[in-house]
Amino acid sequence: MGYGRDVSASESVAAHGPAPDKGSGPRAALRQDPRTHAAITLAVIAIGFATVRPLGVEGRGLAVLALLVVNSVALMARHLSDSRLPPRVDVVWLTAGIVAAAALVGVSRSGSSYIFAYFLTGHVGYRLPLKQALSLAALSSLLCGAVVYFHLGPGHEQVTWVVGLTTGVPVVAGMLSRSRQRAVEAMIESAESAERAARAEAQAAVLTERSRIARDVHDVLAHSLAGINMQLELADALIDTGDLDKVREANNKAHGMVRESLKQAQWTVHALREDALPLLESLTAMIESSGHRDVLTVTGTARDLPAQVTQNLLRICQEALTNAARHAPGGDVRVELTYDPRSTTLRVRNGPATREVTAGVGSGMGLIGMRERAALLGGTITAGPVTEGPDAGGWQVEAVIPG
């Protein structure tokens, strides 16, 4: 019977945010065509003016005309949104409308005067809280039933007073319409909350992936460029001595490092695509490309590790080797890989420098990047100077990854 209030597109967007698809989904179900409800309201008013009698400009006809106008205004007011009218005003105008509808039943002698009471009571069920809605529905039934029962108006001899009592029944339809409306709104709110959560999760995943790519790019560039720069500076220094053989040797090493850098860039691309990398083979190749041979020691039973663990262990080792080459040139390097039942440990230790350290400025992100990598895997990074043993004065990085 059209007791629900129309929900416009602007109100829906204001309450819940923009809809991704205006033509489908639960939000489309929430929107009811306001033109349909307006047409129903105008039809009720037209039927009332066309059938309710007497209708005139004096006496009882004037009273009927005035009550028809009041009922029409009350019926039209149901299209106003809840936000435009305070709750007390809702109660007042609906109460006045019901009283006017009962009065119209009393003063008219024919026609569809009851129709206003039915529609207003239905909207009471939609618009007002339960207790107030039931109270006004009972008021409508009592007033309309009393008008007929006590023959307060003409033309009611052939109508039973039970008909007047039924004017309160549509309140149930109004309540059901409101419950359905609230259920749809709750469903939409839940769907939008889930969508917002999914967007936040996707954004967090993007940021995490950006951080991972940034670490990989930093590690590759820092490792490669630091070694190439060192060889080029050495070649510049040797030019002044006139020792062309050593200049060529340093230049050839720089070229070799460029080729190795390309290989490492390929490793990074594979890692970004999460291809499986063989840890031992990749670790051995990486260490040898940095100029160290036979320095890798493996303890425990080797096993396949997840691609993400392999990738991050390689990058941690790469960063540690870069730091060793930058801050302790010429120092001995030892790499230990230990497979324990519950963890995998990578330890990179270098001795003190045996050549002059070239002044330079690092990015300052190496150790931070290693800690981030370990944290992503639930592991830990320990880094600090070596204070005893043959490598005293050097530096050690130890990564412990569970699993």
Flag whether pLDDT at 169 surpasses 60. yes
pLDDT (average), residues 219-248? 78
Pick from 67-71, 104-108, 156-160, 274-278 the range whose average pLDDT is largest.
Answer: 67-71
Q: Does domain 276-403 have CATH number 2.130.10.10?
A: no
pLDDT category at 275 given cuts 50, 70, 90 is low
Cα angle, residue 376 at apex, residues 373 and 381 outer, rounded to 5°: 50
- pLDDT attached to residue 222: 66
Q: Over 53-101, what HEC string results?
A: ECCCCCHHHHHHHHHHHHHHHHHHHHHCCHHHCCHHHHHHHHHHHHHHH
- pLDDT attached to residue 156: 61
pLDDT (average), residues 152-159? 66
pLDDT (average), residues 265-291? 71
- pLDDT attached to residue 49: 93
Using CA atoms, how far residue 311 sits from 55, 65, 268, 271, 282, in Å, is: 90, 86, 8, 6, 10
Flag whether pLDDT at 322 surpasses 70. yes
* Global confidence as pTM: 0.50
For the chain, what are the domain ranges? 33-168, 276-403
Residue 365 has phi, psi (to 5 degrees) of -105, 0
